[in-house]
Amino acid sequence: MKITLVGSGYVGLVTGACLAEMGNHVVCLDVDAGKIALLQGGGVPIHEPGLEPLIQRNAAAGRLQFTTDTDAAVLHGTVIFIAVGTPPGEDGSADLRYVTQAARSIGQRMTDYKLIVDKSTVPVGTGDAVEATVRAALTERGVDVAFSVVSNPEFLKEGAAIEDFMKPDRVVVGSDDERAIHLMRALYAPFIRNRDRLLVMDRRSAELTKYAANAMLATRISFMNELANLAERIGADIELVRQGIGSDPRIGTQFLYPGCGYGGSCFPKDVKALMHTGQQSGLQLRVLGAVEAANERQKSVLVDKVVARFGADLTGRRFALWGLAFKPGTDDMREAPSIAVIQGLTERGASVAAYDPVAMAEARRHLADVKSLDYASSSDAALAGADALIIVTEWKEFRSPDFDALKATLRQPVIFDGRNLFDPRLVREMGLEYHGIGRG
């Protein structure tokens, strides 16, 4: 098929590259000329395992192209995915200006049937608004061209997005248009050959499904963080509790790992947006309000532990910090817990030496105004002269450090483990002081 992606960010690039891999001819459109030039030159503006070779391979084969030419992009695609950003507004609502602009651009240029697919995470009712916007643009032109609007939310995990797209748990299609449903089945058929995972529902239910999924996962994380804080006070070990409840098939093991809070581009934004949708409908979603509040509190838990150990005045103290990205496998710093940790430490007079395998450049952009923050060349380099080590992101390379070397390098042998990477007993037997999350 001929496919156009409007928006060449995280979702657009992953979607476009994976569809091209299956033989489709894909054009990725973006208004950012610098980004398009980078992609045309073989570069990739984001870090996602496996994405760069996938893009390069399909670009070399002629199946994947990048452009700023809206006319050509709209003309090209029979299927046009809208994959633009929907940043949060001050009231928590999703900003749909880019979605609306994309829909209007399509309506102003289309000359034959188009299947318009909402891939962006959008509030319930956005499909109706996109349809009305396209129809209004056609009316202004005085033409009548057939089109369909489908909701097809993405369920990609940063750090595993290629695998998620190539082997989806489910493909949600929101439409009651048989022509559109047929095209979507054909488009996704190569990805679900061993079992039909395509779920057809009405457009509004599809839009709500995306928000509901992320809100549920965020709820599990905040619940476990609350339990971890309780376990710490009453002398229980949350890791053993996690195993005990995770063995129940009704609960399962996913997203039961406590830590120093969730971040990223999805959970914080989507929880707020769903709460805003509830408010607009006259319904207060109290559980989600508690989820958000618990997560904001959890982002300060590591700083609270440091203060309890070293005192409120951290002047003259230096801390090594491992992990800046909100999760391993990505360079995404949006809403990252590391930001709250670094700000909390430096505001109390401390200096921080931070290291992350891939997120250093993004961190410099997000933390440009933070003083007393240095970026180390390696995890070991960050330890030099530090009073303690703080672990914020669970990168694999942090999981089995040389504890003897770590003890010898730190000014004080203290570890604050925000992701419970280590066995407390083992670390203490190595002569280090250990502070985990809910480890009793």
Give catalytic residues, as residue numbers: 266
The amino acid occupying position 262 is Y
Backbone angles phi, psi at 411, to 5 degrees: -65, -35
Kindly state the DSSP code that residue 156 receives in the 8-state scheme: P
Instruction: Count the helix, strand and coil residues of the chain and give each as a percent rounded to the nearest 5.
Output: 45, 15, 40
Cβ pair 344, 373 in contact under 8 A: no
Phi-psi domain of 38 (left: phi exceeds 0; alpha: psi -120 through 50; beta: other): alpha
Handedness of CA 38, 158, 11, 343 (dihedral sign): negative
Burial class (CB within 10 angstroms; exposed 0-12, middle 13-18, buried 19+) of 177:
middle
Q: Which amino acid is located at 235 in the chain?
A: G
C-beta pairs of 189-195 under 8 Å, 24+ apart in sequence: 190/22, 190/23, 191/18, 191/22, 191/165, 191/166, 191/167, 192/168
CA distance 306 to 407: 18
Longest CA–CA separation in the chain, Å: 78
Cβ(355)–Cβ(319) below 8 Å: no
Q: Is 311 helix (H, G, I), strand (E, B) or coil?
A: coil
Q: Which two tokens stand for residue 410?
A: 């730190």
- Would you call 78 helix, strand, or coil by DSSP? coil
Which token pair is 173?
């299609």
In SS3 terms, 93-158 reads as CECCHHHHHHHHHHHHHCCCCEEEEECCCCCCCHHHHHHHHHHHHHHHHCCCCCEEEEECCCCCCC
